[in-house]
Amino acid sequence: MATEKEVVPVIAPDPTSSDDKVSQEHSPVATPSPESPRWRRIVGFVWDTAEGDPEYRRYVQRLDMIFFPTVCLGYFIKYLDQTNYSNAFVSGMQEELSLYGNERNWMGTWFSLGVMIGSVPAQMTQLGFIRPSILIPCCELIWSALVIGIGFAKNIKTIYALRFFVGLFEACAFPGYVAMLGSWYGPKELTKRTAILLQIESIASMFSGYLQAGLHSSMNGSHGLAGWRWLFILDGIISVPIAVWGLFGLPDTPHTTRAFYWSAEHIRYGIERIEKLGHKAQPKFTWREAKRVFLRWELWVFVITYTMLAACHTATSYFNLWLKAAGYSVSKVNTLPTGGNALTIVVTVVWGIIADRTGKYYWLIVGLQAAMIFSNILLSVWHIPKGALMFAYYLSYAGSATTPVLISWATTLNANDPNLRQLLVATANVVSYAWVLWVPLVLFPTYDAPKYKYGYEILILFGGLAVMSVTLLKFMYRRKDQKQAKEGGQGVEAGAGESSELKN
């Protein structure tokens, strides 16, 4: 396995042309140089393309300028819809459709069923039959029409059906985006970008809250439609051009790309670069290969950890119900949670930067899980000052910062098994959605809001299981690495060439 100091052919700028040409030396990741200006070393601590040789910087900057924004925009419109139904519920939907039972949770349940059914088949389709640069945008166009349809739904049964199909056609997006990010970015680049991608959730939540507040005051009743209906209609409309652009902006993988912004030299360079980091070209995906992947412990130890991390900070979903019960105005109910979204953005990006810089994935995850357990303890006690409850809800928003750290860690550890790496998040999505499917219905029934009998106590249990499962993941990969080292080969971690986490 190559190290960062090895000499390989790359692209260098030709002084007579704006196109990139082939150079003589290259490091596949940003490597600080004592000759680098001080400002580059300082900025490089936060963003990798400030450091390293010019060829590296030019290549990754091109990824950041075209590919990465395409992924972020695609994910933005998806999560905007996921947040919209919650904001719409407290902004007139409940009263207009007489939803005084558990309908709010059932809307999430039908959406989750669609995601569960579609995730793994969609990812297997991308691996074996249809390029993600075609499948994802086409599903987005269908998704847009379904979201607009929610804005005209006359009863809750119609919304249930539309939510199911929205989930079904959305299922290919997040696993596909994460798999593509893992195919193009190296271990010292991936976590912060995955963190930013996931923080599109918070940006979309903030945008949805302010958008609903604005629509409620400015368009409520316009053309005979309530303000909450306009939320879905506008969401669907703005997603159409984003979906169309995805046909051009998504580059598939370095080994299969046909993106217009890569020249032949770029493609050759990209393949060499990613192979230096331990990645291999994806082999043909067959049913035999699928069986191999789904029987590997590496997949399931990741799935268990991912599921527990996702489950233990779900208190955020019930913050606006507490605000409504506490007597806050519609505007406050929609806008106060955006403070939690802002906290999520800061913590998640900081955690991503630290993870890329240090490789301390395990301790970053465990440290934040301790904060989640504390948050849920406060919510379980409940009869505490209002300010303490507000603090507990806001703190719970930080829990999502563990997910990009885990995804990046697993991608690095499984760099040399592309089919396994591509199916990690898709499979985890299915199990995670299945796991949390019963949580709102059983532990957080809407009619018990805002105080729940057992809900927050069970979230404490989920936090403990998350710590146990991530510890198991660390132990299993360390044992695998040691076993491979004894057999005379490089371990998984050494093969990735970046993380020292398992040696600590």
Closest CA to 310 of 169, 395, 404, 382: 404
Residue reference for tokens 């670069």: 273
In a domain, 8, yes or no: no
- Residues 81-107 pLDDT 10s: 777 777 788 778 888 888 888 788 788
Under 8 Å between Cβ of 379 and 71: no
Q: Tell me the pTM.
A: 0.79
Whether 305 shows a pLDDT value over 60: the answer reads: yes
User: Two tokens at 437?
Assistant: 């499917």
In a domain, 40, yes or no: no
CATH number of domain containing 289: 1.20.1250.20
Q: Say if 421 falls within a structural domain.
A: yes
Three-state DSSP class for residue 487: coil
Domains of the chain: total: 1
Residue 21 lies in a domain: no
Residue 217 lies in a domain: yes
The pLDDT, as a whole number, for residue 308 is 93
Each residue's pLDDT tens digit, 428-458: 989 988 887 777 778 888 778 788 888 899 9
Q: Does residue 257 come out as left (phi exceeding 0), alpha (psi in the -120 to 50 range) or beta?
A: beta
Instruction: Express each pLDDT in 325-343 by its tens digit.
Output: 888 887 788 788 888 888 9
First to last CA, the chain: 21
Which residues form the domain of 121?
A: 54-503
Provide, rounded to the nearest whole percent, the portion of the chain with pLDDT above 90: 44
Least confident of 20-24, 168-172, 182-186, 416-420: 20-24
How are beta strands 10-13 and 20-23 bridged, if at all? antiparallel
Question: What separation in angstroms does the CA of 404 have from each of 120, 304, 359?
Answer: 20, 15, 13
Per-residue pLDDT band for 36 (boundaries 50, 70, 90) equals low
Contact between residue 157 and residue 105 where contact means Cβ atoms under 8 Å apart: no
Indicate whether 502 pLDDT > 60.
no
**Residue 20 predicted with pLDDT over 50:** no
pLDDT at 304: 94
Q: Is residue 48 in a domain?
A: no
Per-residue pLDDT reduced to its tens digit, 256-286: 999 999 999 999 999 999 888 888 888 878 8
Q: Residues 324, 399, 243, 426: what is their CA dihedral angle, to the nearest 10 degrees?
A: -120
The answer as to whether 19 is a domain residue is no
The answer on pLDDT for 9 being more than 80 is no
Q: How confident is the model at residue 232 (pLDDT cuts 50, 70, 90)?
A: confident
Asked whether residue 439 is domain-assigned, the answer is yes
Specify the pLDDT at position 144. Answer: 92
